[in-house]
Amino acid sequence: MPKQQTPPTSPPPKGNIRQPSLLLVNTGDGKGKSTAAFGTAMRAVARGWRVAVVQFLKSGEWQVGEEKIGRRIGIDWWALGDGFTWDSTDMDESEAIAREAWGEASEKIAGGDYELVVLDEITYPINWGWVDLEEVITTLSRRPSKVNVIITGRDAPREIIEIADTVTEMKNVKHAYDKGVMARRGIDY
């Protein structure tokens, strides 16, 4: 009699769906959202994909590490504030910059020139009401079929999670910061 195998609780899907592109979300309060996105970007470059990264939070010194290497391997990297001119009198500068970043990001997505677009920390300006959630949903839903998108940041809006294919919540079990260890070169930036 053949050995009985325990059946999995739910049978795995056949895995034969050929979806042209994916929307991924890295959210949660633990470390690893951005670094996982950049790791995927590395894979994408290795496969000959065109990759764009748009960063939505001012990082200053912080992300020079990945930006430097990213540019070197051919990623089209747009850090917050790049090429920005501010002429609005009725809007907060940070809000205007975030909107500018979204303008850049939505063009990159809609343009269809990239196989991967990373929207790093975009959940923050969305949650602050600076970038219109409806508009983000529309742009993501109507994106050209080959454009994969990764969204990172805490508290990803429910509406984005609903239309995403893969959603990972980084859970903070411990962080060195909690015992007073500051951000570290090579580990955090």
- The residues of the shown chain that bind ligand ATP, judged by CB under 6 A, are 29-35, 121, 152, 154, 170, 172, 175, 177, 183, 188
130: nearest Cα among 153, 162, 114: 153
CB of 132 to Mg ion, least distance (A): 22
Given Mg ion, ligand ATP, none, residue 94, with its beta carbon under 5 to 8 Å by kind, binds none
Q: Cα Rg for the chain, rounded, in angstroms?
A: 19
Pick the closer one to ligand ATP by CB: 31 or 146. 31
Concatenated DSSP letters of 42-73:
HHHHHTT--EEEEE-S--TTTTHHHHHHHHHT
Please tell me the distance from the alpha carbon of residue 19 to that of residue 31, in angstroms, as a whole number: 29
Closer CB to ligand ATP, 30 or 81, in the complex: 30
Is 14 or 188 the residue whose CB approaches ligand ATP more closely? 188
Q: How far apart are CA 55 and CA 152, in angstroms?
A: 10
> Out of Mg ion, ligand ATP, none, which partner does residue 32 contact, by CB within 5 to 8 A per kind?
ligand ATP
Footprint on this chain of Mg ion (rule: CB under 5 A)? 33-34
